Each structure stands twice: as structure tokens, then as C-alpha cells.
Amino acid sequence: MEIVEQPEGPPFELGKAVEALRAGLLVGVPTETVYGLAADAANPDAIARIYAAKRRPTFNPLIIHAGSEAEATTLGQLGTTGAALADAFWPGALTVVAEQKSTAAVADLATAGLDTIALRVPSHPVMRALLAEFGGPLAAPSANISGTVSATTAAHVAADLDEDVAVVLDAGPAPLGLESTIVSVTGEPRILRPGAISREAIEDVLKAPLPLAGEDDAPSAPGMLSSHYAPTVPLRMGAEDVRPGESLLAFGPRQPAGWEGAVATENLSTRAELREAAANLFAALRRLDEVGAPIAVAPIPLSGLGLAINDRLRRAAAPRQS
């Protein structure tokens, strides 16, 4: 894999990435949420490479990234609700699951043969420039091995996917650090995956309560399998104390009892800011995973981005399925 460092502003260094995408190869891309593993959405061989590299079950569909809302609407039928969400949050960290248009130039494998499609117009300047220069939609799941902690830096991508990726565009740490919020508009609107845009912000636009899809609700997001985002060490949530032999994932200025004895400590945000905590979450989990001790996780509020942070931690703590 070749890592291509990006300048602070345009023009970006995209030549090798575009060449690789045209050749059906995989490119690690920065987005405002997490790093993605991108491929030409119209090329079935390239999409197959994504599933192989991630060791991802092929029934798990990918998010299709478009350069504009106009391009996205050539792929899916957003409808009134989807269009309102797109106007409010695109470019940005919202994914809309909509009816797929029969004319959509997207490989069946990318949507796992579903008649729906997950669409997002990202805001990261490097990703936007890449989409413009490539000139078509890019399928991109998070750039990590399926079921493990998502990648928020180019180094994480290299650690997980090295040989399988032709080029990684390194634009520094992903600013938000949490995946996009996925909202389905194919029936009654609902959140399939909480994420970097809070439920409250979306409800403000819809002017209606937005339910979270239940786990048994079909067709739910397969990424919502209960064990996901999982480090190799066990996690214990809502920890009011640190037990002997445990590491501590802390939040805020107040430390749980026994914190002095922690094998290692990462504080997601000493100021107890949920946005900062979201941006730090996956990198902190990866560092504590390397230490190897079980992790005690301090309580984190459920409001705003706390919903998505607690969701990822709950899945990381869930018993493994395989």
C-alpha cells in the first residue's frame, strides 16, 4: 500500500488514487466521519475486492458516496423526507436509505441485491475532490476488518488492510470520528444506526419524533449485528470502579473509584464534551486493545452524540458471535 499525504487545502494529490479506482483497485479515503475503503461502485470486481479485504459477509450492503445530491438522486428515490434530510445535512454525516432506481449505475453486489440503496454525500474536502475527479459514485464501507473497531487515521487503515489497498489518502485524523447516522426513508422514517449527527438534530428538521429501528426489524442495517466495533479484549460498561487488572476508558473530570490502579487509562474527553469523545473513541479503543487488559468504561450520558457513542460501546461489549 502507498500512503499519499494530503496538503491542508487544494489542489490535493489524487492522481494515484483515481488511477487505482479506474483499475478496479481499493483506495483508503478520509471522510469527516471515519476512513472509508473505496471502490468504483459500478465495478462488480472492485466491489468483490472490498468484501474480501474486509472479510465481510456478502449480504452486508455498502454505503454509496456521491459528489452531490443531484448525483445521489440518479441512484435512489429520496422522496420528500429524504430530500428534506439531504437539503439539511448534505454534504455531511448522514446516510439515507432509499428505494434504489432501476437505472442506478451501481453493481448489484454493492447493495447486496437489495432494492434499496444507502446514499451519502460526504463533506470532507479530500473525499469531495476525489469524487469530483473520479466522476462517479464510490462504494465505501469503513476501512477496517468487518466487526472490529473502525479506522479514524491512515495508520489504522494500514494496520488493518495493508496488502489489500492500493493507495491511502492521508488527511490526518477523521474530524468526527464516528460513522454517519443512517436513516431509512423507505417506509416510516427511522434510524437504522445512530451516528455522528444526533437524533435531536434530525428530529428538528423532520419536526417529528424519529424512532430507532429495533434489532429484529427487517430490513435493518446488518452492521447492527449486536457484536460489532469489537476490540479483542472484554469491555465492561457503566463502570463505577476500576477492578484490579483492568484498563480505564474514562470520560470527564471525575474518575471512578480505583482509577489509580488502572493498567492503562484513556480519557475520551476530560472536559466531558461528547463531540470530543466521539472523535477520540475508536483510536482510544485501539490503544487500549493493544495494552491487552479488559476495559472498564466510565458512564457516558445518552444525550446528543452520546447515543451513538454508547451504541458503539455496547456492541463492543457484546458477546462475540463467532
Helix H, strand E, coil C: the string for 153-178 is CHHHHHHHHHHHCCEEEECCCCCCCC
With beta carbons less than 8 A apart as the criterion, state whether 96 and 203 touch: no
User: Residue 228 binds what, of ligand TXA, Mg ion, none (CB under 5 to 8 Å, by partner type)?
Assistant: none
> In one letter, which amino acid is 180?
S
Cis peptide bond upstream of 10, omega within 30: no
Q: Where on the chain is the footprint of ligand TXA (CB under 6 A)?
A: 31, 33-34, 36, 60-63, 95, 97, 111, 114, 116-118, 120, 140-142, 179-180, 182, 192-193, 219, 221-223
User: Residue 43 binds what, of ligand TXA, Mg ion, none (CB under 5 to 8 Å, by partner type)?
Assistant: none
Q: Closest separation between CB of residue 26 and ligand TXA, Å?
A: 13
- Residue found under cell 496538503: 7
With beta carbons less than 8 A apart as the criterion, state whether 30 and 171 touch: yes
Q: Closest separation between CB of residue 291 and ligand TXA, Å?
A: 25
Smallest CA-to-CA distance from 4 within 165, 138, 122 is with 165
Of 6 and 142, CB closest to Mg ion: 142
Of 142 and 310, CB closest to Mg ion: 142
Torsions phi, psi for 27 (to 5 deg): -130, 130
Of 142 and 267, CB closest to Mg ion: 142
The CB-nearest residue to ligand TXA is: 223
Of 149 and 298, CB closest to ligand TXA: 149
Q: Closest separation between CB of residue 201 and ligand TXA, Å?
A: 16
Torsions phi, psi for 98 (to 5 deg): -130, 170
Between the alpha carbon of residue 248 and those of residues 52, 54, 286, the distances in Å are 34, 29, 13
Q: Closest separation between CB of residue 146 and Mg ion, Å?
A: 7
The whole-angstrom separation of Cα 162 and Cα 28 is 10
Of 48 and 293, CB closest to ligand TXA: 48
Among 142, 247, 267, 310, binds Mg ion (CB under 5 A): 142
User: Residue 104 binds what, of Mg ion, ligand TXA, none (CB under 5 to 8 Å, by partner type)?
Assistant: none
Which helix (H) or strand (E) segment holds residue 242: the answer is none
100 binds Mg ion (CB under 5 A): no
Give contact residues for Mg ion (rule: CB under 5 A). 142
